[in-house]
Structures are given as C-alpha cells and as structure tokens.
Amino acid sequence: MERRDLLRAFGAATALALLPHDAMAAWARVASGMRPVNGLDDAQLALVGAIGDMIIPRTDTPGAADVGVPAFVNVIVTEDSGDTESTAFVSGLDAIEAQARRDGGASFVDLSPAARAATIDAIEHAGDRHAEPARTYWRLKGLIVHGYFTSEPVMTKVLKVQIIPGKFDGAAPMPHRGAHAGGGHAHG
C-alpha cells in the first residue's frame, strides 16, 4: 500500500472522529482570513508548509499546504494552546530550522527535496522523541495530519464525507392536508 493510500484509508476511517469542536472552530477562524495575534511569522509558516508538503505532498489530491494546513497549525498553536506550550512549539520550530541549517547548510525551505528528506529522517529517527527538535516535529506531524483530514476540501472532495447527508431544498413540495383530513372530526 502506498503512503498516500494509507493516509487516505486512515482519513476515511477517522475523519469524523477527528472533527471535534476545536478543529471546526480552528478551520472557521482560518476561513475568516484573520491571522492570530502573536502567531507564527511568515518564515515559521513557510517551514510548517514545507514540512506539511513533505508529509502529505500534492499528488492527484491536494497537499497539506494546498488546503491551508499551515494556517490551521497557526491557529491551534497560538490560540488553542497555552503561552508556555506555544512558546515551546516556536522554540521547537527554531530547533528544526537549526538542524536543517546544520545538516543541509540552508534554511529548511531552501533545501533540495533530498536534503529536506534527510533532515526529516534524522529527526524521525532520533532516539528521544521528547527532546527537541523531535518533540515539536512529532506534534507538528500530528497537527498536519489532523488539519489535513479535517479540512473542508479533503473531507468533501478527497474522502467524500458528507457530514449532513442529502441536499437542502428550501422549496420542497409538501403534501397538502385538508381541513378535515383523518376522519372528519371538527374542532370547535
């Protein structure tokens, strides 16, 4: 099974389970177009997008950045997390960037696809997932997958999940009920 097929199967099986109120509210805030105050800066958002597209690249379906996952991560990390957790996440992004510069000699977003893959591979195979940059990377990976599969484009066009089945028809015909239908009882 290809990685994309595996992710699609995971998403189809858990899409509704991954759609708690927080995800819906985060996507609503993303749709409003307003960036969180004190949120991730442009370089951090680019890093999140580049990592997102490494995890869920564009194929015959949209990639993570195509559906707005960086903005979703921004909302979750800055608005739904406490200050301490948010600060730790940003520090972890800085650690991922530092590792990319150390291992590849450039910013993560400027690395070749092979160098990006090598940086991610080194982080994924680090011994301690609780040490930076692995801690932030694994949290980010979870947020990317969560955001991707709860996004409206993926839910409706890729997974074809219908949250409310049927279509709304405001002018649907209604059966006509007579004044004395049902046995001719008169009301007085």
CB 156 within 8 A of CB 15: no
- Of the listed ranges 53-67, 101-115, 150-164, 171-185, the least confidently predicted one is 171-185
Q: State the average pLDDT for the chain.
A: 81
CB 151 within 8 A of CB 27: yes
List of residues 6+ apart from 169 with CB closer than 8 A: none
CB 52 within 8 A of CB 65: yes
Q: Does residue 18 register a pLDDT over 50?
A: no
Residue with tokens 């307003």: 34
pLDDT of residue 34: 83
DSSP states of 133-160 as a string? THHHHHHHHHHHHHHHHHSHHIIIIIS-
Q: Does residue 17 register a pLDDT over 50?
A: no
Query: Over the stretch 23-80, which tens digit does the pLDDT of each residue have?
Result: 778 878 888 888 888 899 999 999 999 999 999 999 988 999 999 999 999 999 988 7
At 181, list the tokens.
Answer: 């239908």
The confidence band for 16, taking pLDDT boundaries of 50, 70 and 90, is very low
Distance CA 64, CA 45 (A): 12
CB atoms within 10 A of CB 147: 28
The confidence band for 168, taking pLDDT boundaries of 50, 70 and 90, is low
| 0.75 exceeded by pTM | no
At 59, list the tokens.
Answer: 């194929």
Q: Which residues of 91-110 are buried (b: 16+ CB within 10 A; e: fewer)?
A: ebbbbbbebbeebbeeebee
Query: Over the stretch 76-100, which tens digit does the pLDDT of each residue have?
Result: 998 877 788 889 999 999 999 999 9
Q: Let me know the angle formed at the C-alpha of 161 by 157 and 167, rounded to the nearest 5 degrees.
A: 95
CB 100 within 8 A of CB 107: yes
Mean pLDDT (whole number) for 7-23? 52
DSSP, res 109: G
Q: Does residue 169 register a pLDDT over 90?
A: no
